[in-house]
Amino acid sequence: MFYNNQLYKEDLLNCIENNDFTKLKDTNILITGASGMIGSLIVDTLLYSNELLNLNINVFALGRNKTALKKRFLSNINNPKLSFIIKDINKALTTNIDFDYIIHAASNAYPYAFSIDPVGTMMTNINGVNNLLNYGKSHNLKKFLFVSSGEVYGQGDNEVKAFDEDYYGYVDITNPRSCYPNGKRAAETLCISYYNQYGIKTVIARPAHTYGATATKNDNRAATQFINNIINNEDIVMKSNGLQLRSYCYVADCVSALFTILLKGKEGNAYNVANKKSNITIREIAQTLTTLYNKKIIFENPSDVELKSFNPVSQSVLNAEKIENLGWQAKYNIEEGLKRTVTILKEI
């Protein structure tokens, strides 16, 4: 699968070369949401860093579904440095392992889940952070990285060209879809509260709209669906005018940024993760793919369920200057990232 694909290995190598992974030598690292788009690439990057640099990192991949974890990490199923923890993060951890680092990437992150399970979406963010930090408080945790979302900014003033980390727009708290941005907002406050009250070093990442080959099968975000259309040799189906302006980030660039935040980020701080060369509309993503793969765009009316899950924000551009000041740079623009995604999926 992914781990044995040459192009995917290049992505893993890029994450490693952009950061000083020797600082993670001989540590225990827990990754939640380990079978998800971002979490699974984090796990693979750590395992590959062990191969390349002999770092002796013990990687603990946490997820709710043992079958999904085994399938996703089949290439490393017998790797002694990889352990699975089968757990619903809404419940307290019952292991007795001292994790040096926790990277919390478990969350419903696709619109369909927001519409069918708004309560679970919101509470998983809050309960997950609370359970993990409470565990770390008594188990010598060195640092906690929370993978939040650029959606915390809500609908900003369209005169603001890009959101800095200290800018916050409007979120309609009476809209059930707000379960996601408000869940992330509350969880971020909880991270800072644990840092201020208990001294646990926490850092926060706010990824832009992320895409890549590791997207899960139930991911119904627009960019992922467009990519699936291409993989299936179909025309691209759009269910809106696609004029919403977004920051996008290729998943390997995102993971590279997460390690930069973990290793260099200042505790108590949040960092945007975005590619300044990939600020485009949803329609422009569709047009890029149709140009690259000789397809056309077909417009369809969305279903009622799809309408409920649509992001109402018209413009969501993130300023990545703060993380760039830590030395991070995105490598792939939108066209390059889309081509890598399609190539990897076709090859595997």
- The DSSP 8-state label assigned to residue 155 in this structure reads B
Per-residue model confidence (pLDDT) at position 299: 85
Structure tokens at 201: 């070093």
- The answer to whether residue 110 scores a pLDDT higher than 90 is no
Report d(CA 15, CA 12) in Å as an integer. 5
- With tokens 């990232």, the residue in question is 337
% of the chain surpassing 90 pLDDT: 81
| Contact call for residues 79 and 86 (beta carbons, < 8 A) | no
DSSP 257-310: HHHHHHHHPPTTEEEEE--TT-EEEHHHHHHHHHHHHT--EEE-PPPHHHHHHS
Per-residue model confidence (pLDDT) at position 312: 65
Give the distance, in angstroms, between the CA of residue 92 and the centroid of all CA atoms in the same chain. Answer: 23
| Contact call for residues 147 and 105 (beta carbons, < 8 A) | yes
pTM of the predicted protein model? 0.95
Least confident range from 47-61, 121-135, 204-218, 233-247: namely 233-247
% of the chain surpassing 70 pLDDT: 97
Tell which residue, 139, 45, 39, has the closest CA to residue 92: 139
Instruction: Read off the pLDDT of residues 277-325 as tens digits, 9 standing for 90 and up.
Output: 999 999 999 999 999 999 999 887 777 666 665 666 678 899 999 999 9
CA dist 131 to 34, 184, 225, 261, 264, Å?
A: 17, 15, 33, 22, 25
For β-strands 279-281 and 245-250, DSSP reports them as: antiparallel
| Contact call for residues 97 and 156 (beta carbons, < 8 A) | no
Instruction: Read off the pLDDT of residues 149-177 as tens digits, 9 standing for 90 and up.
Output: 999 998 877 777 899 999 988 889 998 88
| Contact call for residues 4 and 75 (beta carbons, < 8 A) | yes
Report d(CA 89, CA 33) in Å as an integer. 9
> Which amino acid is residue 127, in one-letter code?
N
Please, which residues bridge with residue 62 across strands? 32, 85
Least confident range from 90-104, 119-133, 302-316: namely 302-316
| Contact call for residues 105 and 36 (beta carbons, < 8 A) | yes
> Which amino acid is residue 204, in one-letter code?
I
- With tokens 């727009």, the residue in question is 169
- With tokens 């108590």, the residue in question is 268
Structure tokens at 43: 């796990």
Structure tokens at 313: 């924000």
Per-residue model confidence (pLDDT) at position 309: 57
Per-residue model confidence (pLDDT) at position 107: 87
Tell which residue, 29, 53, 51, has the closest CA to residue 42: 29
- The answer to whether residue 116 scores a pLDDT higher than 90 is no
- The answer to whether residue 113 scores a pLDDT higher than 80 is no
